[in-house]
Structure 1
Amino acid sequence: MIEAIFCYLFNDKLFLSKHKHLNEDYWASKACGKKLLFNNIRRISNKYNIKISRLFHEDWKHFIIIRNPIERFLSGFTHLCVVDMDSNFSLRICYYCEGNMECVIKNLYETLKVYSFNGTETLFHIKHHFFPQTWLCHYDKNKKHYIKVDYESKDKEKFYSQLINIFRSQNVPNNKLEYVRWELNHSKSFHSTNGTTTLEKQKEILFSNPNLLKLLSIIYYDDFIEFGYKFPIENI
């Protein structure tokens, strides 16, 4: 719901004219469309006519949401490759593996190898959902400017508080902060798999297969090291 939050913060009248709740704003129903979406810093610079160096001035705050790599993979895999398995959209993202986790992980590993060697482009949603987080958001170049906000499905209140504190530090009005806080605590993203039996089943499949755990540990090695998450197995 991050996109919905920013749409509301930038133009609450527009957002509330189309939606009552944050979780109603997704895909084709996005109130702000793609107006607030940028795939690199330069496009933000051009949009707001601000030099890139000024974008990292104290008036601007940049934060990235990080998540345990295994939890993140399981969430994306369960939603896209199991729950939504039969849609044409998900079939492409999941390498036409028809819900087979081993198939997806091995194909992802090959995709990342090719990408790391020559930068071959791949589907946006494969990158967005499955690439290492340290490979996204120009992290290697700009990490010193980023505030890391850790998302834990078992401690969402901590995550919500971090977001609210960032918004408050940027002088977001209290009434908007209260709306966002209430929505975060009472609305659930339509594609959330947290707490479902489907997610638990996929977790069991993964943790019963040391080879898959090792391959995921290799795939997300940089994330584990950079963000201090514990590897799921020893002797990587």
Structure 2
Amino acid sequence: MGQLLYSISIFFLLPILNFIYRQHLYGIPPEKIIYPETGIEAMKLKEESYSRQEKAAAAAENFDKEMPNVVANNSLPLPDSIYGGNYIGMCQNQTLCVGPYARFPSLLVVVPEYRMISCLNQKSLSTVMTGVFCFMNRPEEFLRQNRSLLREYGDIKMCHSANEYHGVWPIFRDLHVPIRQLKKWSFSMVARDPVDRFLSGFVDRCIRTHDSCEGCHYNMTCFLEAELQRAMNYANHLEHKITPEDAHMFPQNWRCQMDKYRYKMLKYSNDPTQGFLQEFKQELDRQNVPSNLTTFIEEELSRGRTAHSTVQSEIRKYLEKRLRSSAYLLELIVRLFYWDYRLLGFAFPTTHAF
């Protein structure tokens, strides 16, 4: 029986070991990704989607009519600070703060020709980065079809998710990338200040699109408390179902095996021309992306915002003032995103209430 098991093991292991050895010894150029053709019907859907997005962007400027409901749900007095702003001391107690590196579904986009991988991070230019990486894979087709990096939503993506993966290892496996070439690849993720990202997600999901948001609707305090508890439960394996709100709110450091691979953090603020574009251009130049492609990317990203941008709304400004002036709410933020602050290099928030 033992000999039989040994023979079976050798039968399956030898091809795998041989593949790994040949990858390491010789190296194989990255495979090219095969994309389906974009037919007439797909182009029609693209035009319809772009038109809807333009209307949605215009309508977003008018959704401040919900302000009375927002104020009514976010005007009661808030509790005082519990821990006095001592974030480090507070989060030394692991039962109070969400831990790092929980296993969370990942989505990465890749450009084999320039050896670039980007981890998509919801509410941090994920739609834009999907468009950018598709453009770098198929620049001629992208320009010929008159597409926009700001409008490549999931329903009409030109690359049809063909360059998207749910882990780093499947990328190297499918593209036949030798392990010894790992250092030649660029790993990046767009990261966003936790307060800014939370507000963007809350306004977009709970107010603009009227999601239930754990039954909290327009109440920011209720929703923040609920997401903190859900993240704690998920990190401790007590919760397994992920809602759309979770995907937009859970810690950024949970994504794409950040504990295993070193990612370049491209810090994004509400104005992409401040810092982000410069850092991203440096990454493109480092990977020898042609200057004409880089110029197009810079011009597109400087041109405007996606259809679900909320930063300029009065509702967003009202909620940000309430959050940043509350020691209690900021402590909830830090308890939820403590390791994002520590690992991604963002400064802890402060308030005059401390």
2:208 is matched with which residue?
Answer: 83
2:225 is matched with which residue?
Answer: 106
SS at match of 2:298: helix
Q: Partners of 1:179 and 1:162 in 2: how far apart?
A: 16
RMSD: 2.3
1:70 is matched with which residue?
Answer: 195
Query: With structure 1 as the length reference, what TM-score do the two structures score?
Result: 0.85
- Mapping for residues 141-220 of structure 1, pairs under 5 Å: 141-142=260-261, 145-154=262-271, 156-220=273-337
What is the Cα deviation at residue 114 of structure 1?
1.2
Q: Partners of 2:152 and 2:254 in 1: how far apart?
A: 27
2:345 is matched with which residue?
Answer: 228
2:176 is matched with which residue?
Answer: 49
Q: Which structure: greater helix fraction?
A: 1
Structure 2 residue identity aligned to 1:84: T
In the alignment, structure 1 segments of 5+ residues that lack a partner are none
1:13 aligns with 2:140: yes
1:35 is matched with which residue?
Answer: 162
8 Å CA contact 1:18–1:31 kept in 2: the answer is no
Q: Deviations over 1:66-111 (max 9, x none)?
A: 22111111111111111111xxxx43xx223212112211111111
Q: Which moved more, 1:122-131 or 1:179-188?
A: 122-131
What is the Cα deviation at residue 130 of structure 1?
0.8
Query: With structure 2 as the length reference, what TM-score do the two structures score?
Result: 0.59
Q: Deviations over 1:163-190 (max 9, x none)?
A: 1121121111111111111101113211
What is the Cα deviation at residue 221 of structure 1?
0.7
> Structure 1 221/70 Cα, relative in aligned 2: closer, same or farther at 3 Å?
same
State the number of aligned residues: 226
Higher Rg: 2
The share of aligned pairs that are identical, in percent, is 25
What is the Cα deviation at residue 54 of structure 1?
4.5
Structure 1 residue identity aligned to 2:339: D
SS at match of 1:140: coil
Structure 1 residue identity aligned to 2:182: F
In the alignment, structure 2 segments of 5+ residues that lack a partner are 1-127
Q: Partners of 1:122 and 1:68 in 2: how far apart?
A: 26
Q: Partners of 1:179 and 1:156 in 2: how far apart?
A: 14
